[in-house]
Amino acid sequence: MSTSSFSSFTPSTRFAVPGRIAVSNRAAALWQTATLTEIRRETPHAATFRFAVPAWAGHLPGQHLMLRLTAEDGYTAQRHYSIASAPDDAGHIELTLDHVEGGEVSGWFHTVAKPGDEVEVRGPLSGFFAWPGDRPALLIGAGSGVVPLMSMVRHHRARELSVPLRLLVSARRPEELIYARELGTETTPVFTRSAPEGVPVGRMAAAHVASVLADQPPGGWEAYVCGSNAFAEHASRLLVEAGQPVDRIRIERFG
């Protein structure tokens, strides 16, 4: 075949403003001790763990960290967790963990951890999913996928930002909606198994996305999708079908 017609490939990343947030390589490489100071139950399956990390370099909403647990024999387990708290919580960070059935790390947090315990963290990591509060943000999450999005919502509130922000969040039932008490008028919850009186039950659908996309702020939305891979695939497809440009969709998949 001829090769001449393919000369237009460019090996440059075309995601919206790639690497728009510079990450500190030093912070990313350094393990620090995080001391658990408080545990707050959010839902029957999720709890928030608050840590003191005195030398925390600060983060942007949407970033995550790497957390490490070490057994007496030196065995370690490390997992990524999104940061739930807003950046202004100096010297402290909060994580919200789902209790995964049979989970090694989340299992330790939900059955053993208590205030005073120490774990190790490194980060913040990844600028790609971060939202510094500069652009209209359409946030779509499911289950614990709401965690990094909540950091954005909290940041928006704490700084009284006027840039538009909307959150579509899916949960099985109202009792399983993480941060339910804190969600406000920016949020549309979607319940897949059972819902309060008068609220429909069902998956996130084109109509949910369409109503937000119809309400375009100047310059359009920057979409942030977070959750399980199945949810991320579903939600990102809804966005694309509704006309959101693919290079303005950022996805954080929990695996």
Partner 1 sequence: MNVTRGFTGRDRVHNPGLPPGQYDAGDDWPVLSAEVTPELAPADWTFRVDGLVERPHTWDWDEAHALPPSAYEGDIHCVTSWSKFGVRFGGVSLDAFLDVVRPHGSATHAVAYSHTGYTTNLPLADLTGGRAWIAWEYDSEPLAAEHGGPARLLVPHLYFWKSAKWIAGLRLLDHDEPGFWEQNGYHARGNPWEEQRYSGD
Ligand X SMILES: Cc1cc2nc3c(=O)[nH]c(=O)nc-3n(C[C@H](O)[C@H](O)[C@H](O)COP(=O)(O)OP(=O)(O)OC[C@H]3O[C@@H](n4cnc5c(N)ncnc54)[C@H](O)[C@@H]3O)c2cc1C
- Contact flag: residue 147 with ligand X (CB under 6 A): yes
- Residues from 8 through 67 that contact ligand X (CB under 6 A): 64
Query: Can you say how many angstroms the Cα of residue 90 is from the centroid of all Cα atoms in its chain?
Result: 20
**Structure tokens that stand for 138 in this block:** 């359409």
* In the complex, minimum distance from the CB of residue 229 to ligand X, in angstroms, rounded to a whole number: 10
Q: How far apart are the first and last CA of the chain?
A: 39
Rule CB under 8 A: say whether 226 interacts with partner 1.
no
Give the one entry of partner 1, ligand X, none that residue 160 binds, where binding means its C-beta sits below a cut-off of 5 to 8 angstroms depending on kind. Answer: none
Does position 254 interact with ligand X (CB under 6 A)? The reply is yes
Compute the least distance from the CB of residue 232 to ligand X, in Å.
11
Sequence-ordered list of residues with C-beta below 8 angstroms from that of 61, at least 6 positions apart, any chain: 83, 86, 87, 130, 131, 132, 133, 148, 151, 152, 154, 155
Residue of 28, 92, 103, 220 that binds ligand X (CB under 6 A): 103
What is the distance between the alpha carbons of residues 32 and 227, in angstroms, rounded to a whole number?
27
Identify what 147 binds: ligand X, partner 1, none; CB under 5 to 8 Å per kind: ligand X
Piece of 25-33, 100-108, 112-120, 236-244 that binds ligand X (CB under 6 A): 100-108
Q: Is 89 in the site for ligand X (CB under 6 A)?
A: no
38 binds partner 1 (CB under 8 A): no
Query: In which element (H, E) is residue 222 found?
Result: strand 222-227
Q: Using the rule CB under 8 A, is 74 a contact of partner 1?
A: yes
Least Å from the CB of residue 176 to ligand X: 13
Exposure string of 67-102, with b = 16+ CB inside 10 Å and e = fewer, is: bebeeeeeeeeebebbbbbbbebeebbbbbbbbeee
